[in-house]
Amino acid sequence: MKKIVLLSLLTLAACGTKQNTAQSKAANYDPIPYGNTITEAELKTHLYTYASDEFEGRNTGDAGQKKAVAYLRDEYKNLQIPAAQKDGDYFQKVPLQKGSNLHSELTINETEFTFAEDFVTFTSNTNGTTSIDEIVYLGYGIDDEKYSDYQGKDVDGKIVLIKVGEPKNAEGNYVITGSEENSMWSGNIRQEFGAKLTAAKENNVKGILFYVDEYYPRFKMQYEFVKKSSRISLKADESESFFYYMINDKLATAILPTIKDTAESRILNVNATLVNKDKSNDVDSENVVAIIKGSEKPEEYVVISAHLDHEGIKNGEIYNGADDDGSGTVAILEIAEAFKKAQEEGNGPKRSVVFLHVTGEEKGLLGSKYYTDNPIFPLENTVADLNIDMIGRIDPKRTEGNRNYVYLIGSDKLSSELHNISEEVNKKYSNIELDYTYNDENDPNRYYYRSDHYNFAKNNVPVIFYFNGTHDDYHRPSDTPDKINYDLLTNRTRLIFYTAWELANRDQRIAVDKVAK
Ligand SMILES: [Zn+2]
């Protein structure tokens, strides 16, 4: 048996190496001719259409946004670049809702409690009735290596009651910190809520009743605000049955009269019914996703993203959003065309390149949140996200330095290799001034958290955010195509193309060597 094996291995090796050299020769092929297919004229033509009044400012869920996604789909069809989804649909449906008309009814031991008055939530829960005969009281609901209310408790699929705060010892010091200083489990109600919610989910709890004591009026006010607002948000994931309610004194003491004085966990037998009747208005929207499959490592993905939506029409005025984010949108179309040309000439990328146009960015990074929660391609196979948001203008605050610049944000946060590659590629092909002013975590503008790359970074996918800074027309009807610096838009678009080319063709996938903060 062995011998045959040996023989075939040899031939394999021979042809393998022949193929590799051809490929690596092709892969190392000079990208400049393809970069040069990215032109001012084509960017301008696209942008004058995409940011024209006809698209009505592309407000999420509105007719203008529907025109925008149709335009993008048709462009990919013209370029013969296939849809990312297996069914050939370029649109990844993003279920949204306008406003919030949550409504629940809760009866505990024949006493009825009023939604918003006594208990409130901010996410729509699955509609229907839940009968509750047991509630597990878990004190503070903390799950920390130094102190845990969950340890040894059977809460799987159960409803738990918890309260604000954290334990103190006889000397009055916090048990977890061992000092007068509180830990992340109390003090800042938003952070505390986030931590306790995560702990409950990690322990597979069905739902939590969170007694927030003196903070309740604040949550009630927030709910009233959300209810009135026409805010658009992601619709609750029907498959997710987990729920949470902030509850007030009256309800908490009705379930456990001594709740203020004790943190000792126990099982409470109750006769309760919870009815959810969420009447929020559904808003249909979509991300547009296309792909050029890799020739050698098709299961590794370089994502290039931008948001397709903008502010729509306000007070009768159209917010064209030429820079925000028409510039990023048309940049991706030109980059896609360049990669397609390379593929047609046998120099296609080794790894797959995904062109991701997300919706709902102006409403809170909704489209990218939905994509990273429901990725078409596994995030663990996603090498990097190059996110483009506003690259067609000049920041008037930037008085020093070369006008041929771009702000880079996030390139060194998760992968030092990504940062170095970005620098090297720029030196080799573009020589744009890479400005890291806003890359500081403590930068008061917090741009790192304010565009779609952040949802990838949160999932440990290395990111680069390309941005030119704000300007006088930012989020104004005057952000129009005639104000765009097309030479700078072209330079920046080519830089992003060359960076994607390198990430898609280099032998080694870049390593994640840092943890996102
Ligand atoms: Zn934007």
* pLDDT tens, the chain, 517 aa long: 544 444 444 444 444 444 444 444 445 579 999 999 999 999 999 999 999 999 999 999 999 999 999 999 999 999 999 999 999 999 999 999 887 667 789 999 899 999 999 999 887 766 788 899 999 999 999 999 999 999 999 999 999 999 999 999 999 999 999 999 999 999 888 899 999 999 999 999 999 999 998 999 999 998 887 777 777 888 766 566 788 999 999 999 999 999 999 999 999 999 999 988 766 678 999 999 999 999 999 999 999 999 999 999 999 999 999 999 999 999 999 999 999 999 999 999 999 999 999 999 999 999 999 999 999 999 999 999 999 999 999 999 897 789 999 999 999 999 999 999 999 999 999 999 999 999 987 899 999 999 999 999 999 999 999 999 999 999 999 999 999 999 999 999 999 999 999 999 999 999 999 876 5
Centre of ligand 1 to C-alpha 48, Å, is 17
Among positive and negative, which fits the CA dihedral 389, 394, 400, 402? positive
Run of H or E residues at 161: strand 159-163
- State the distance from the centre of ligand 1 to the C-alpha of 324, rounded, in angstroms: 4
Cα dist. 208→31, 69, 108, 326 in Å? 55, 39, 15, 42
Q: How far is the CA of 393 from the centre of ligand 1 (A)?
A: 13
CATH topology of domain 28-96+283-505: Aminopeptidase (3.40.630)
Tokens for 422, please give them: 């970005």
Do residues 496 and 421 make contact, with C-beta atoms less than 8 angstroms apart? no
Which phi and psi angles does 376 have, rounded to 5°? -70, -30
Specify the DSSP class assigned to residue 125: P
| Spacing, Cα 473 to ligand 1 middle (Å) | 12
Cα of 315 from ligand 1 centre, angstroms: 20
Residue 470 CA, ligand 1 centroid: distance in Å: 10
Give the residue extent of every domain in the chain.
28-96+283-505, 103-277
Topology (CATH level 3) of domain 103-277: Glucose Oxidase; domain 1 (3.50.30)
Question: pTM surpassing 0.95?
Answer: no
Q: How far is the CA of 181 from the centre of ligand 1 (A)?
A: 39
- The pLDDT of residue 230: 72
Pairing of strands 281-292, 351-358: antiparallel
Distance from residue 332's CA to the centre of ligand 1 (Å)? 14
